Amino acid sequence: MDNICHTLVGAALAQTGLKRRTRFGTATLLIGANLPDVDILSYAFGGGLTALSFRRGWTHGVLAMVVLPLALTGLVLLWHRAFGARDGGGGAPPLRADQVALLAALATLTHPLLDFMNTYGMRWFMPFVNGWYYADGLFIVDPWVWAVLATGVFLASTGKRAGQGSDALPEARGKPAMVALAVVAAYAMVMVGGSAMARRLVARELRAQGSPVERVMASPAPLNPFRRLIVIQDGEVYRFGAVNWLRRPVFSLDPFVAAVDFAPAAARLAAQTPEGRAFLGWARFPFFVVEPARSPSVVHIVDARYTVDPKADFGAVTIRLPAMTGPGEPTPSR
């Protein structure tokens, strides 16, 4: 999910009352909720494809869920030692290392759980297993999630709740944030269930028509929780459609198809380049587009999960190969 969502989750956790467990409780929760995205620094070292190979891996997997909270706890303790005594605390609760570690672990864990919810996916078992897992439940930027969490944080922070004023007990003031987190969790589960139902519906209808269905992805659509964008691997082609639970018929199939063609020599050669390997290690529904009559050869690898445009800024990569000596044969290396 986007970092606004992660930050709102950290803020909502703080407003439930967790921030009062220790000094720097709010800061720990806010930083922890975003900390796995430290892998964004990979964009500064080697470019987009290097980052693509690294993102949602080492800093999001099971090992990171142990290392990152410990690192954050150490940083908070160092900050307190360097600067905490200077401001006198301002009435804040005392620093408790065990509570800092607990909050850091909780906040950090929320991050991969949320990232798992969308079609980009998560590599839960990195660095031990380099495999992607997808819930396909939430669009990567979901304003409905923002709205619920922001409302809960606002009401909890101001103490404004039905029947209570700003002088309500801390436990009562934290209830709007608790409700907001519960609503978002329930919404996410319903969305995951909706995508699973859409996949089963599409597979059942296509099989009834005699179409071989290998894989189906039901992707959440922006703003509309009742709609799913469909990608189908049907033999040697990808097909596309949509499921909308508010319309009849529920499932509609687009006429456009993309060929799953790995046969051309240029495509095979592109797949073996460092860029090709990095992209294919991330891509979920890859296909190749070889530009005709180009020397050196130009091959686009596209992930139909996100686009069918071979020149798209996201979801596609362009690879320029050495000149070909003959039909389908690369120039021998020297």
Residue 174 and residue 286 in one domain:
no
What is the distance between the alpha carbons of residues 182 and 16, in angstroms, rounded to a whole number?
11
Q: What is the CA radius of gyration of the chain?
A: 24
Place of tokens 């950290």: 10
Q: Quote the number of domains for the chain.
A: 2
Q: What is the pLDDT of residue 166?
A: 47
Residue 11 and residue 120 in one domain:
yes
Establish if 53 belongs to a structural domain: yes
Q: What is the pLDDT of residue 42?
A: 77
DSSP 291: P
Establish if 106 belongs to a structural domain: yes
What is the distance between the alpha carbons of residues 41 and 154, in angstroms, rounded to a whole number?
32
Amino acid at 141: V
Q: What is the pLDDT of residue 261?
A: 74
pLDDT tens per residue, range 10-33? 999 999 999 999 999 999 999 999
What is the distance between the alpha carbons of residues 117 and 39, in angstroms, rounded to a whole number?
19
pLDDT tens per residue, range 138-166? 999 999 999 999 999 999 998 754 445 54
Q: Which of 190, 217, 247 is the last residue of a domain?
A: 190
Angle at 240 between CA 237 and CA 246, to 5 degrees: 155
Residue 169 and residue 270 in one domain:
no
Establish if 216 belongs to a structural domain: no
Q: Which of 164, 190, 216 is the last residue of a domain?
A: 190
Give the full edge-to-edge strand order of the sheet including 286-290: 286-290, 298-303, 316-320
Q: Which of 168, 190, 212 is the last residue of a domain?
A: 190
* Boundaries of domain holding 289: 265-330
Residue 147 and residue 59 in one domain:
yes
Q: Residues in the chain with pLDDT < 50? A: 161-163, 166, 325-334
Residue 302 and residue 156 in one domain:
no
Residue 275 and residue 179 in one domain:
no
Q: Give pTM, 2 decimals.
A: 0.88
